[in-house]
């Protein structure tokens, strides 16, 4: 009877240690998940800012292309108006 009681006590201690270890591991997993979620949130925000910056650069490039194209058209019109296409008779 005494051996049986001692065996149950050891089993109880063993189970308590296992439960404690599992609870510690669950706590660590929850902490890791929370850290990962927060990091993902910040990375997503950073990615959105980068995408916006790229869109702004494309927008600036579009306006630069329009300005260059407009100046080329203006140069051709000025050339024509100043007689650049005038052919003199032989």
pLDDT of residue 25: 96
Burial code of 26-44, b = ≥16 C-beta within 10 A, e = fewer? eeeeeeeeeeeeeeeeeee
pLDDT tens across the length of the chain (90 residues): 678 888 888 889 999 999 999 999 999 999 999 999 999 999 999 999 999 999 988 888 889 999 999 999 999 999 988 887 777 766
Within 8 A by CB and 6+ apart from 85, the residues are 79
**How many Å apart are CA 53 and CA 61, to the nearest integer?**
12
pLDDT of residue 4: 85
State both tokens at 32: 């890791």
């Amino acid at each position: 009877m005494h051996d049986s009681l001692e065996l149950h006590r050891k089993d109880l201690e063993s189970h308590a240690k296992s439960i404690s270890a599992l609870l510690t591991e669950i706590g660590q997993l929850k902490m890791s998940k929370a850290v990962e979620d927060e990091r993902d949130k910040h990375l997503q925000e950073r990615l959105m800012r980068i995408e916006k910056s790229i869109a702004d650069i494309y927008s600036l490039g579009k306006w630069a292309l329009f300005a260059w194209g407009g100046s080329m058209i203006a140069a051709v019109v000025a050339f024509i108006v100043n007689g650049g296409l005038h052919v003199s008779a032989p």
